[in-house]
Amino acid sequence: MPTLHLGVLDVPYATSGTTTGEVATFLEDKYHVMEVFFEDVGAPAIGAALEKSAQDAVDSIILGIAAPGISLTAKAEGEIVDAFRQFLTQQEMDGVVKGVPTQAALKGVSHRRKKPYAKGNPPRPSFIDTGTYESHFRAWVEP
């Protein structure tokens, strides 16, 4: 039975000694970000994306336009990643989980700015501070 994994590429943050893996673990333990995403997007929608991805890959093979080593799930994996990023950007966890939106998001703390803690910074979506966690999110299927 294939298994869908949600996670991050483990890379260091530029501004600290922390890695995306450590941040993802913390966020999952405290806020259940990926779990809520899976429940919000829904297994049926993800299943449908995987089914469509496999069908498109098989169609390409039948038509003779598939490259060797074609992945049956690559298209769906990309769609899941895009949906996760949209989930964060559209603040779909706000009010769903206790503590979200986070205080840092409400205060506009953003390490993308020259002065991350300036009082004039506008509020931002939770879990998108530097953008590293969001940009290194991945979904993959393992046989």
- Summarised one tens digit per residue, pLDDT across range 55-106 is 998 998 899 887 777 888 999 999 999 999 999 999 999 999 999 999 999 9
**CA proximity to 118, closest of 130, 126, 108:** 108
- pLDDT, tens digit (0-9, with 9 covering 90-100), for 108-137: 999 999 999 999 999 999 999 999 999 999
pTM of the model: 0.91
Q: Each residue of 18-42: b (16+ CB within 10 Å) or e?
A: ebbbebbeebeeebbbbebbbeebe
Can you give the pLDDT at residue 25? 98
CA distances to 20, 63, 101 from 66, in Å? 34, 8, 44
